[in-house]
Structure 1
Amino acid sequence: MTDLGIKNFDPFADTNESVGNAQETLIHIRIQQRNGRKTLTTVQGLDQKYDFKKIAKAAKKEFACNGTVVEHPEYGEVIQLQGDQRENIRGFLIKVGLASQSQIKLHGF
């Protein structure tokens, strides 16, 4: 077969890399229904270099709620806060400088 000068070109090469990098840095804030009207807010995807217990302590004090850091088998360490704190924790992470607006993804009803 002759070489026609056509290089192997992947049109999605640069987008795949950026999606992969963005996927690693994305912070997911979810709400989970407990029993009755009770809910839990979970924060997953923060960089491992941060101390999650200190973040949880500061968030608990700021929002006047209870919370903890749990080890999830699939997601690693996850911060759990009582109640619907999605907007509060989003603003808190942006204000403190742990994440930007584009890095945060809110989930839930």
Structure 2
Amino acid sequence: MVELELEIPSAFDPFADAKESGGAGAKQYVHVRIQQRNGKKSLTTVQGLPKELSYERILKTLKKDFCCNGNVVQDKELGKVIQLQGDQRKNVQNFLVNQNVVKKDQIKIHGF
């Protein structure tokens, strides 16, 4: 007999690696992700910004600079998460680096 090991695929969790990296002494990363909605619609999420920053002011500037809509969502496990309409991953990365919010090596971009 031949034994086969099969893995059954489960639903994709875009925040899975953020939950795993929450250990003590872990380097704090800012995670920029894209989530597919229906059809061509997508959603960009920014998670892991320093807590002392004003998320509402950052969101207001991002919305104005990128001509998109967005909001701040409070998550039980992840804290505050900024959501933006469309694929804004590169724009958000450039904004955070140019405004000296975080360094480029502290940003992780996820998505397809």
Q: Tell me whether the two structures share a fold, i.e. TM-score over 0.5.
A: yes
Please give the secondary structure, in 1, of the residue aligned with 2:39: coil
Equivalent position of 1:67 in the other structure: 70
Question: What is the CA-CA distance between 1:21 and the residue it aligns to?
Answer: 3.5
For residues 1-109 of structure 1, the aligned pairs below 5 Å read 20-22=25-27, 25-109=28-112
Give the secondary structure class of the aligned counterpart of 1:80: strand
Q: How many residues align?
A: 89
Query: Whole-Å Cα distance in 1 between the matches of residues 85 and 41 of structure 2?
Result: 8
Distance (whole Å) between structure 1 residues aligned to residue 62 and residue 75 of structure 2: 20
- Give the counterpart letter for 1:68 in structure 2: N
Q: Distance in 1 between matches of 2:82 and 2:70?
A: 7
Give the structure-1-normalised TM-score: 0.79
**RMSD (CA atoms):** 1.1
SS of equivalent residue, structure 1 residue 68: strand
* TM-score computed with the length of structure 2 as normaliser: 0.77
Unaligned runs of 5+ in 2: 1-23
Q: Distance in 2 between matches of 1:34 and 1:74?
A: 22
- Unaligned stretches of 5+ in structure 1? 1-18
1:32-88 Cα shifts (integer Å, max 9, x gaps): 011111000000000000000000000000000001000112201000000000000
Separation in 1, partners of 2:41, 2:75 = 21
Equivalent residue for 1:16? none
Bigger helix share: 1
Q: Output the amino acid matched with 1:59.
A: L
